[in-house]
A and B are shown apart, each in its own frame.
Chain A
Amino acid sequence: MATIAHGTPEIAAEEVNYLNVEHGWKSWLLTTDHKRIAFLYLISITAMFFVGGAMAVLFRINLLQPEGIFSAETYNRLFSMHGIVMVFFFLVPSIPATLANFLIPIMVGAKDLAFPRVNLLSWYLYIFGAIFTLYAVIRGGVDTGWTFYAPYSSTYSNSYVLSAAMGVFIAGFSSILTGLNFIVTVHKMRAPGMTWGRLPLFVWANYATGLIQVLGTPVLAITLLLLFFERVAHVGIFDPNIGGDPILFQHLFWFYSHPAVYIMILPGMGVISEIVACFSRKRVFGYNFVAFSSMGIAVLSFVVWGHHMFVTGEAMYTSVAFSFLSFMVAVPSAIKVFNWTATMYKGSVSFDTPMLYCFGFIGLFTIGGLTGLFLAALATDVATHGTYFIVAHFHYVMVGGMVMAFLGGLHFWWPKITGRLYPEAWAKFAALIIFIGFNLTFFPQFILGYLGMPRRYHAYPPEFQALNVLSTAGASILGIGYLIPMIYFVWSLKAGPKAGPNPWGATGLEWEIQSPPTTFNFDETPTVTKEAYDYGPVEEIVG
């Protein structure tokens, strides 16, 4: 039985909700309503996504020709800014600051997050950081790679390292505050009857994400500060000329940046749990396993960072330890994939857009994750480090995984957030375009990497041209695929059919309140008696 989205018949007077309760720029810029803040974030990160995407368009154009089209200098700046903008200003905040910000209070049965003003502050910090980084973009960018490795970034690069690094530094505090808010909210703001074991898995995932944000991001902050001092005053902490160690920079940088990739993927996994349950009409298989695997990922993510440094001078025995631990961290992710698959088994699966993105995620994340194992193995990493294999690996998990989960979640909860339905046919079409465009862009890159094409190079040997052209073609298709939802989502705000409280027939507290919700979410604090994903028995399909 398909899950059909229902539009509601004409409503005589428009309900009061968080969007129309107040008007004017002050009511938005000084709001403490988590839903409005989530909306502000949504606009901001979408804008940054297209900034980062524009750079990708440019450097993929450069890669059409083996000798390159732009100079090496320009190319270096393009991919570096692409990385910085996409990682710190799109992927890290994406689901936590938008969907989780919106949904977590509702899902736990609260009126807001624990610290609403801190929530607003985190958005302002994000904007402030974005301004610093956009300044760097406008003035010509940095060419250090998003990884800011010393001593190039600290001593030799004559690009706008400081403003880009300071932008990231400030945005880091935005991330810390979001995580802090989620942690305290989940511990202290759950409604009566909402035990940990009844929480939606989306909440578990974002709680685990919050733990990573709180524990890891401060180390990035201090690392960038040390870089700042090195660059400004030449103090020598990473300068080999006076005995400083550039590898120390890498240790400190990756201590955050590896857990950061789990900040980027865990919320997506939370979304998938919600979607797969709803569109299989079945509770998530192995709820406890999925919940604890989120926690397991959060913990293990902190002891694997050395796998980014296998070829840069890390001691061999330490590398062996990191390699082993990197194999371990794949296990909880795999557990989730098995559980989602088991959820679908003997479920009543329907193919609405959110579920299409879900399928895309499960397949593409699996490929990305498995290739991560190739990279965790020392011997194969030595051959593939610094090649397009790595680029393909992380784009499979981040774009094939996270961005698809984000789009899936956006479609799933769009009726709740805006009170409008998006056009399903266009949405399915866009999902298909995105899937095709994505694979066309990034699968050739696995082959390129395997064949030895290095990453971060503006030019390449002519025998790689065909695959690069294929990749660029895919990128253009992918770009169109991303534009289509932008258009119909904006269209739906004004002209989409109005949504009722629960167009998908899903379980969860968010579907029991009106769409869009009121400012304080609930008229009275609910008392929770049901388990999560309380879908009834699947009806036998006759015939």
Chain B
Amino acid sequence: MSTHHVLIPKVSTLVAVWAALIVLTGLTSAVSYLELGEWNIVVALLIALTKASLVAWVFMAVRHSTTLTRLFCVAGLAWLSILILLTYSDYHTRDWTYQAKPWSTNKAAGDSR
């Protein structure tokens, strides 16, 4: 015989999270109709991140999980970031040019243009 200590969420908590998710969905849709330029994508991703965090924290019970589980979550997100950011850095910096200085400026010897 063994005992299992399980933390069981209250229904009201779960419904509250559900409501928050629905509201945030409406919010992100509404905001998308505003002209915010570069900030549209930022706001959209921040809201998405908030929604995802709610799902993970409450529905997926990360709030009651061990440190190991949380570490695994963080690791997954960190590696995803490495993939996207480091790949994107190539495209972002393709236009950055670098004009090297000539190694010598001795025009008489024909060293530089």
Contact = CB atoms under 8 A, between A and B. Distances in A.
Chains A and B touch each other in the complex, with CB atoms below 8 Å apart: yes
Interface of A: 187, 215, 219, 247-248, 251-252, 255, 302-303, 306, 314-318, 321
Contact of B94 (A248, A252, A306, A315): A315
Interface majority SS (helix, strand, loop, mixed), chain A: helix
B90 interface: yes
Contacts of B93: 315-318
B33 interface: no
Interface stretch (B12-20, B42-50, B75-83): B75-83
B95 to A, nearest CB: 8
Contacts of B68: 187
Q: Which 6 A-B pairs have the closest CB atoms?
A: A315-B93, A315-B94, A317-B93, A318-B90, A251-B87, A315-B90
Contacts, number: 38
Nearest to A302: B82
A453 to B, nearest CB: 29
A405 to B, nearest CB: 27
B39 interface: no
A98 to B, nearest CB: 27
A219 B83 CA distance: 9
Contacts of A316: 93, 96, 98
Given A251-B90, A306-B86, A314-B90, 11 more contacts: A219-B83, A302-B82, A303-B82, A315-B90, A315-B94, A315-B96, A316-B96, A316-B98, A317-B89, A317-B93, A317-B98
B94 A255 contact: no
B103 interface: no
Contacts of B75: 215
A204 B52 CA distance: 33
A315 B82 CA distance: 17
Contacts of B92: 315
A317 B89 CA distance: 9
7 contacts: A215-B75, A215-B76, A215-B79, A302-B82, A315-B91, A315-B93, A316-B98
Contacts of A247: 90
Most buried by A among B79, B92, B98: B79
Contacts of A302: 79, 82
B53 to A, nearest CB: 21
Interface residues of B, number: 16
Given A187-B68, A215-B75, A302-B79, A317 B86 contact: no
Contact of A255 (B76, B83, B89, B91): B83
A303 B79 CA distance: 10
Contacts of A306: 86, 90
Interface in B43-82: 68, 75-76, 79, 82
A82 B90 CA distance: 31
Contacts of A317: 89, 93, 96, 98
Contacts of A215: 75-76, 79
B26 to A, nearest CB: 32
A259 to B, nearest CB: 10
Contacts of A248: 87
A255 B87 contact: yes
B12 to A, nearest CB: 34
A222 B10 CA distance: 39
B82 A318 contact: no
Nearest to A188: B68
Most buried by A among B68, B82, B87, B92: B87
B56 to A, nearest CB: 18
Contacts of B96: 315-317
B79 A318 contact: no
Given A187-B68, A315-B94, A316-B98, A321 B89 contact: yes
B83 A318 contact: no
Most buried by B among A215, A219, A252, A306: A215
Given A215-B75, A315-B96, A303 B90 contact: no
Most buried by B among A247, A314, A315: A315
Contacts of B86: 303, 306, 318
Contacts of B94: 315
Contacts of B87: 248, 251-252, 255
A23 B4 CA distance: 40
A314 B86 CA distance: 12
A35 B40 CA distance: 55
A318 B87 CA distance: 9
A255 B83 CA distance: 7
Contacts of B90: 247, 251, 306, 314-315, 318
A240 B60 CA distance: 42
Nearest to A183: B72
